[in-house]
């Protein structure tokens, strides 16, 4: 596991231990906000219900249940750096049994789309420069895993300063949009218009 991720994995394992397989167990404030994030990220799939999907930082697999509920029936693979999350996902009654989970990054294979909800937020004590290198590497990885496109979200730096926490990473949306446009010039969308202090980036890399 990458050095910067060890404390992150412990942070989330602690949340899971404290709150179980709930939105708070993956450090979201509410099930509604968790679900809203999925809605924004899934725009990248353009409603292709047969698409194969990687869920990068899957937590306990809440997206798997959402996908099946929405009629997505293509292969789903969830990956999380915290093995406790993967164990919880596999043990969950509500999660469809044709969905697969792993904490081994080498087991992830290329899918049509890769989505990542909440993986760039908790920086803990890692310096901002180092965290941004990690974010870039991870975006490259999302791209390499995706035939047609990928999507991720980040906390926005356009939030009230007095509500910001020192251990979280607040990203400049314009800077990350520019970064993605330079690397993936075909099609990049920035969604900064929903009611959470964050934004979503959709990157299309395939022909459609």
Ligand X SMILES: C[S@@+](CC[C@H](N)C(=O)[O-])C[C@H]1O[C@@H](n2cnc3c(N)ncnc32)[C@H](O)[C@@H]1O
Residue from the set 57, 146, 155, 205 that interacts with ligand X by CB under 6 A = 57
**Strands 111-116 and 146-156, how do they pair?**
parallel
Single out the segment in contact with ligand X by CB under 6 A; choices: 46-54, 93-101, 115-123, 193-201. 115-123
Q: How far apart are CA 189 and CA 177, in angstroms?
A: 8
Binding mask 179-208 for ligand X (x = CB under 6 A): ------------------------------
Q: Give, in degrees to the nearest 5, the angle at Cα 152 between 106 and 154.
A: 120
Q: Which of 44, 45, 51, 58 touches ligand X by CB under 6 A? A: 58
For ligand X, which is the closer residue by CB, 52 or 117? Answer: 117
Q: Is 42 in the site for ligand X (CB under 6 A)?
A: no
Report CA-CA distances (Å) from 170 to 31, 73, 126, 177: 22, 34, 13, 14
- Enumerate residues 22-41 that contact ligand X by CB under 6 A: 26-27, 34
Residue of 138, 176, 178, 173 lying closest to 157 (CA atoms)? 173
- For ligand X, how many residues bind (rule: CB under 6 A)? 21
Residue from 42, 59, 41 nearest 122 by CA:
59
Check residue 149 for interaction with ligand X (CB under 6 A): no
Among 44, 53, 67, 82, binds ligand X (CB under 6 A): 82
Q: Are strands 198-204 and 187-191 parallel, antiparallel or unpaired?
A: antiparallel
What residues between 129 and 148 interact with ligand X by CB under 6 A? 138
């Amino acid at each position: 596991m990458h050095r910067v991720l060890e404390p992150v994995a412990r942070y989330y394992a602690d949340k899971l231990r404290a709150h179980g397989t709930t939105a708070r167990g993956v450090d979201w404030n509410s099930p509604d906000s968790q679900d809203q994030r999925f809605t924004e990220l899934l725009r990248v799939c353009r409603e292709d219900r047969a698409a194969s999907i990687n869920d990068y930082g899957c937590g306990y697999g809440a997206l798997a249940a959402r996908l099946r509920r929405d009629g997505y029936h293509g292969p789903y693979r969830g990956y999380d750096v915290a093995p406790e999350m993967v164990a919880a996902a596999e043990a969950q009654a509500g999660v469809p049994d044709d969905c697969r989970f792993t904490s081994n990054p080498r087991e992830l294979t290329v899918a049509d789309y890769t989505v990542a909800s909440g993986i760039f937020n908790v920086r803990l004590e890692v310096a901002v420069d180092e965290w941004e290198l990690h974010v870039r590497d991870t975006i490259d990885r999302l791209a390499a895993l995706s035939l047609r496109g990928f999507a991720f979200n980040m906390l926005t730096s356009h939030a009230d300063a007095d509500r910001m926490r020192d251990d979280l990473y607040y990203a400049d949306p314009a800077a990350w949009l520019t970064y993605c446009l330079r690397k993936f010039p075909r099609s990049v969308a920035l969604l900064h218009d929903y009611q959470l202090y964050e934004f979503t980036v959709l990157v299309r890399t395939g022909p459609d």
